[in-house]
């Protein structure tokens, strides 16, 4: 049984195939964290808690004068603010008298098969045969706040999902000042912290640093998970690498303001907490009301950072992404944005579509500029009706003509935004986020709609539904091109204004869910100025996300490499674009641009009417090659072989099919050496007993040889040169 309760020792133990998580109800109903790591069969693990006298430590009143019992040494499973635990807290509840000390104690628990949904929130999912769930109730007897900790252990993945729900059982309103989703205490601090930082057009760069005394954190206060920090942290041993060593991964299934913080305390222990950012957050909880915090997915690996990543990939592919596109190859598309920007008409779009159809492209996507009075980024957002000055035959006429070419049709929306120069703003100036008496900040000449308002959500659903119903539209690119400022909702009273940040995200989730219920076959792709909201919360609704606005192949190598620490390639929108590149002005050969885009959903973003015949022939080969290889790329296990953040000259990664009969190795030369050394790369993930043929050379070697002796990289010249190796196992 993956979840057990040892009643004699009052120990809860959760097991996945190779990991164990344990906690214990100790004195006076305190719930203490015991262990998280490699599998342990025993349940009598209470000995792991150390009791000793620590100078100046406070002792709970009911235990006084036992000075060996202190929350300085007892690692609480869900620590609260204001009692004698001075480390980072998960919960802070303000009572009617203004006090904030909170102390929750064990009340009861439930164990059952399967996994519950989280009210209004995205989360991983599992049937009764896939997972088991433990719910533990803790109560603060003074405030009446009841915290339910929810843990799900997956039977086929080394992952544990956890969240919490806080209910007010008192007769007075309570205010949640801080309600984080997860806490894990480590018994020492000799770890590194790995996170993914960035900026627009350079998202999810890998950073690794040694834990130090004090607090180290990443966070977002932008209203989105952000370009700057991804809601993911790994805690890894100092010698942990891609293949070996301990790695703990923590991924928050949420798209708004977040905090991931690690504190190293005076006794050289480390505590990680993760959840909604408590800055400018307060939630009023009326009598009988409940608040649900988003989910944190925890992964432990003894096979290094690579093993951690592969667990996240499998879990998010199979138990987070949903809908008919979950396991289908996504259409190879062409997007017109970098080809035309705002300057297009039906004739121009059809010319690109006709060329695309001849190359074997499967879907045409019309980007920004098709609606309202939209000839630049200065107007039109919110006016979701067709601009018939550009599309004189109307939307259905264009879609029908694209369909007649044998291609699907997709369209761009930016539902969360509004232009000052728009019919919608003139009719409803109060619908944007704003604070009376303060100016309304513009970014990209636009403001943000108040997605916490039901009337705004209803308008967006009706206007978007009208467009999607008017023609055979099978794909939507959902964009978000600015972060939140002057965050306030005119429909909320003063004591609920700090709920707006979270209510905004709940509104985004609600609208996406409504659209997918109304159009169940729709393929939704997320975008936020590129990868500014690439997080697990959005993947629940959109199984693929535009990874970055930077389409330069060499930049994309690093962006996609960092993204793969958490997210599978099936979620990464990746396109071949024009050279010189629009963002960097760098030229990279078409073959390399194709290889890099194949490590994603694959498509094109350039003017196909301006390419040469030679480029057309290569694109046809790329499209055919991706169709042949997409199975091993999309559903295979990914192994990172050469790290471009550590090796300035090269990057390499590979995919291995689940049955280990096929593998694809991709190598990109980041920088040319005028007198290049011999490069040999050891492969990973193959079956050592199988024999594999490398398709181009015809060389046949055992998996053992390919992994231990390696594969020679041919001499390549030019920054951005690339090659691939396709291995197939021989039948016995």
Assess whether pLDDT exceeds 60 at residue 726: yes
Q: Examine the domain organization and report whether 562 and 663 are in the same domain.
A: no
Annotated active-site residue 479? The verdict is: yes
pLDDT in tens, 133-159: 999 999 999 999 999 999 999 999 999
Assess whether pLDDT exceeds 90 at residue 564: yes
Number of residues assigned to the chain: 732
Q: How far is CA 254 from the centre of its chain?
A: 8
What pLDDT sits at residue 648? 86
Assess whether pLDDT exceeds 70 at residue 64: no
Q: Examine the domain organization and report whether 427 and 356 are in the same domain.
A: yes
Assess contact for 658 and 637: CB atoms under 8 A. Answer: yes
| 19-25 and 31-38 beta bridge pairing | antiparallel
What pLDDT sits at residue 292? 98
Q: Which residues contact 617 (CB under 8 A, 6 or more apart)?
A: none
> Within a domain: residue 326?
no
* Count of domains forming the chain: 3
Annotated active-site residue 280? The verdict is: no
> Within a domain: residue 540?
yes
Is residue 396 classed exposed, middle or buried when 0-12, 13-18 and 19+ CB atoms within 10 A define those classes?
middle
pLDDT average, residue stretch 581-607 = 97
CA atoms within 13 A on the CB side of 87: 31
pLDDT average, residue stretch 514-528 = 98
Given 613, 635, 657, the domain boundary residue is: 635
Q: How much is the CA Rg of the chain, to the nearest whole Å?
A: 27
> What is the pLDDT of the chain when averaged over all its residues?
96
pLDDT in tens, 251-261: 999 999 999 99
What pLDDT sits at residue 62? 67
CATH number, position 718: 2.60.40.1180
Assess whether pLDDT exceeds 60 at residue 499: yes
CATH number, position 400: 3.20.20.70
Q: Which two tokens stand for residue 537?
A: 């919360």
CATH number, position 197: 2.70.98.60
> Within a domain: residue 288?
yes
Given 586, 618, 635, the domain boundary residue is: 635
Q: How confident is the model at residue 234 (pLDDT cuts 50, 70, 90)?
A: very high
98: left (phi over 0), alpha (psi -120 to 50) or beta: left
Q: Examine the domain organization and report whether 183 and 264 are in the same domain.
A: yes
Q: Examine the domain organization and report whether 96 and 34 are in the same domain.
A: yes
Name the percent of the chain lying above pLDDT 90.
94
Q: Which residues contact 214 (CB under 8 A, 6 or more apart)?
A: 263, 264
pLDDT average, residue stretch 382-410 = 96
Domain that holds residue 450: 333-635
Assess whether pLDDT exceeds 60 at residue 63: no
Give residue for tokens 């290569």. 618
More confidently predicted of 648 and 118: 118
Q: Examine the domain organization and report whether 667 and 593 are in the same domain.
A: no
Q: Examine the domain organization and report whether 672 and 545 are in the same domain.
A: no
φ and ψ at 452, to 5 degrees? -85, -10
Assess whether pLDDT exceeds 90 at residue 560: yes
Task: List the Cα angle 368/562/599 in 5-degree steps.
Answer: 65
Assess contact for 534 and 562: CB atoms under 8 A. Answer: no
What pLDDT sits at residue 67? 77
pLDDT average, residue stretch 555-581 = 98
Q: How confident is the model at residue 519 (pLDDT cuts 50, 70, 90)?
A: very high
pLDDT in tens, 24-60: 999 899 999 999 999 999 999 999 998 777 766 777 7
Assess whether pLDDT exceeds 70 at residue 647: yes
Q: Examine the domain organization and report whether 137 and 282 are in the same domain.
A: yes
Which residues are registered as beta bridge partners of 528?
531
Q: Examine the domain organization and report whether 280 and 382 are in the same domain.
A: no
Q: Which two tokens stand for residue 16?
A: 């996945």
Q: Which residues contact 81 (CB under 8 A, 6 or more apart)?
A: 89, 91, 92, 100, 101, 102, 177, 178
Assess contact for 704 and 683: CB atoms under 8 A. Answer: no
Exactly one of 549, 552, 637, 643 is catalytic; name it: 549
Q: How confident is the model at residue 71 (pLDDT cuts 50, 70, 90)?
A: confident
Q: Examine the domain organization and report whether 616 and 650 are in the same domain.
A: no
What pLDDT sits at residue 68? 74
Q: Which two tokens stand for residue 222?
A: 């932008």
Q: Examine the domain organization and report whether 498 and 365 are in the same domain.
A: yes
Exactly one of 15, 158, 383, 479 is catalytic; name it: 479
Nearest to 699 by CA among 727, 660, 665: 727
What pLDDT sits at residue 467? 98
């Amino acid at each position: 049984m993956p979840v057990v309760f040892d009643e004699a020792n009052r120990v809860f133990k959760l097991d996945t195939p190779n990991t164990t998580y344990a906690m214990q109800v100790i004195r006076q109903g305190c719930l203490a964290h015991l262990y998280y790591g490699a599998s342990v069969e025993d349940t009598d693990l209470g000995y792991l808690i150390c009791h000793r006298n620590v100078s100046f430590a406070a002792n709970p009143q009911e235990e006084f004068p036992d000075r060996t019992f202190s929350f300085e040494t007892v690692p609480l499973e869900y620590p609260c603010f204001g009692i004698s635990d001075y480390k980072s807290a998960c919960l802070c509840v303000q009572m009617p008298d203004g006090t904030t000390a909170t102390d929750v104690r064990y009340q009861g628990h439930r164990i059952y098969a399967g996994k519950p949904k989280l009210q209004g929130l995205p989360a991983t999912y599992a049937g009764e045969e896939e997972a088991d769930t433990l719910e533990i109730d803790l109560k603060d007897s003074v405030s009446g706040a009841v915290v339910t900790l929810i843990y799900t252990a997956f039977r086929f993945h080394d992952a544990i999902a956890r969240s919490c729900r806080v209910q007010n059982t008192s007769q007075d309103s309570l205010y949640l000042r801080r309600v984080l989703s997860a806490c894990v205490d480590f018994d020492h601090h000799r770890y590194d912290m790995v996170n993914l930082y960035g900026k627009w057009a350079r998202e999810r760069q890998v950073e690794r640093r040694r834990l130090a005394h004090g607090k180290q954190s990443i966070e977002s206060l932008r209203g989105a998970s952000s370009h700057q920090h991804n809601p993911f942290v790994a805690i890894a041993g100092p010698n942990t690498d891609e293949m070996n060593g301990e790695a703990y991964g923590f991924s928050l299934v949420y798209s708004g303001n977040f905090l991931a913080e690690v504190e190293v305390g005076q006794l050289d222990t480390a505590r990680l907490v993760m959840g909604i950012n408590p800055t400018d957050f307060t939630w009023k909880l009326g009598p009988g009301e409940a608040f649900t915090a988003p989910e944190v997915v925890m992964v432990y690996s003894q096979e290094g950072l690579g093993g951690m990543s592969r667990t996240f990939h499998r879990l998010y592919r199979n138990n987070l992404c949903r809908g008919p596109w979950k396991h289908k190859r996504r259409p190879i598309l062409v997007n017109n944005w970098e080809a035309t920007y705002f300057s297009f008409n039906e004739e121009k779009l059809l010319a690109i579509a006709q060329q695309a159809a001849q190359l074997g492209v499967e879907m045409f996507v019309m980007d920004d500029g098709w609606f309202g009075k939209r000839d630049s980024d200065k107007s039109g957002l919110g006016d979701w009706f067709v601009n018939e000055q550009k599309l004189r035959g109307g939307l259905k006429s264009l879609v029908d003509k694209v369909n007649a070419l044998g291609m699907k049709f997709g369209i761009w929306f930016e539902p969360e935004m509004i232009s000052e120069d728009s019919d919608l703003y003139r009719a409803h100036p109060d619908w944007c986020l704003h604070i009376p008496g303060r100016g309304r900040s513009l970014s990209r000449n636009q403001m943000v709609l108040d997605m916490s308002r039901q009337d705004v959500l209803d308008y967006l659903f009706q206007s978007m539904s009208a467009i999607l119903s008017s023609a055979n539209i099978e794909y939507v690119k959902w964009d978000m091109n600015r972060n939140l400022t002057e965050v306030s909702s005119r429909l909320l009273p003063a004591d609920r204004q700090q709920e707006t940040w979270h209510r905004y995200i709940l509104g985004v989730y609600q609208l996406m869910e409504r659209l997918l219920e109304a159009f169940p076959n729709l393929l939704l792709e997320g975008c936020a100025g590129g990868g500014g909201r690439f997080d697990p919360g959005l993947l629940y609704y959109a199984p693929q996300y535009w990874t970055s606005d930077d389409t330069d192949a060499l930049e994309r190598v690093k962006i996609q490499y960092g993204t793969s620490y958490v997210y599978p390639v099936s979620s990464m929108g990746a396109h071949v674009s024009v050279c010189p590149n629009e963002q960097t002005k760098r030229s990279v050969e078409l073959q390399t641009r194709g290889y890099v885009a194949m490590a994603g959903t694959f498509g094109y973003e350039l003017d196909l009417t301006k390419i040469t015949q030679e480029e057309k022939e290569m694109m046809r080969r790329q499209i055919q090659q991706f169709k042949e290889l997409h199975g091993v790329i999309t559903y295979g296990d990914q192994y990172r072989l050469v790290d471009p953040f550590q090796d300035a000259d090269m990057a390499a990664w590979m995919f291995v099919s689940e049955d280990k009969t096929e593998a694809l190795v991709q190598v990109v030369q980041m920088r040319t050496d005028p007198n290049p050394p011999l490069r040999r790369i050891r492969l990973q993930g193959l079956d050592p007993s199988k024999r594999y043929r490398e398709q181009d050379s015809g060389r046949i070697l055992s998996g053992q040889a390919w992994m231990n002796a390696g594969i020679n990289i041919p001499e390549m010249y030019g920054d951005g040169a690339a090659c691939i190796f396709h291995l197939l196992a021989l039948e016995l």
